[in-house]
């Protein structure tokens, strides 16, 4: 069994030539991404698709961005990643549709042996992370190995997410805990704000047309 196969099966694995080449390829692509100009949005999206195992339409990454492999990460459509995020994707990172990451968000899909004598042998231990659809993770949050975040949930800035977070909640803290559910009152309020914004936009367009 190769190190890559061991990695995919969730076993302890050593770094071999195949994985080193994959790691160096990720460094190459992220170096190109991080060197793009602010006007090269399409190039950034294209590089994200080259980097990840799968990337849906509308995927966009603000540089700088860093990851271990890229080939272990899959993101859905309309994925937005703000400045200075880090993906340690030794394990699989799976991200749904319409997910937003704030600046400096870190996803750590890797761990190391607890026993020090095994740990110093430099084996990695892949542990997957799953982020559902329509999730917003606030800036500087850390998502630890093995965590699943449910659909529509919000993770507060600076949180350290050590355990699974259910769908449709707001959670924050260190360790991250559920603060409250997302309610029908939230939906009504934000739809009202959206209606007002569209109303103001229509008024501005009418004023510009009449000028």
Catalytic residues: 112
Secondary structure, 3-state, 166-201: CCCEEEECCCCEEEEECCHHHHHHHHHHHHHHHHHH
CA dist., res. 204 & res. 167, Å (int): 38
Residue 17: helix, strand or coil by DSSP? helix
Read off the tokens for 147: 């965590």
CB 70 within 8 A of CB 26: yes
Q: CB count, 10 Å around CB of 201?
A: 10
Q: From residue 142, how far is each of 83, 162, 174, 188, 197 by CA, in Å?
A: 14, 9, 10, 30, 33
């Amino acid at each position: 069994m190769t190190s890559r196969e061991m990695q995919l099966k969730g076993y302890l694995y050593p770094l071999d030539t195949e994985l080193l080449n994959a790691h160096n390829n990720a460094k190459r692509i992220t170096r190109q991404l991080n060197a793009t100009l602010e006007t090269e949005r399409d190039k950034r999206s294209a590089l994200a698709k080259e980097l990840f195992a799968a990337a849906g339409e509308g995927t966009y990454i603000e540089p700088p961005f860093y990851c271990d492999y890229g080939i272990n990460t899959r993101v859905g459509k309309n994925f937005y990643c703000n400045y200075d995020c880090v993906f340690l994707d030794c394990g699989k990172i799976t991200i749904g549709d319409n997910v937003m990451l704030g600046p400096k968000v870190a996803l750590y899909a890797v761990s190391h042996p607890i026993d020090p004598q095994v740990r110093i042998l430099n084996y990695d231990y892949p542990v997957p992370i799953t982020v559902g659809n329509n999730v917003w993770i606030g800036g500087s949050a850390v998502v630890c190995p093995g965590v699943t975040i449910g659909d529509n949930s919000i993770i507060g800035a600076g949180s350290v997410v050590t355990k699974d977070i259910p769908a449709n909640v707001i959670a924050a803290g260190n360790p991250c805990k559920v603060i409250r559910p997302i309610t029908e009152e939230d939906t009504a309020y934000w739809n009202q704000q959206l209606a007002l914004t569209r109303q103001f936009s229509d008024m501005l367009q009418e004023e510009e047309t009449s000028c």
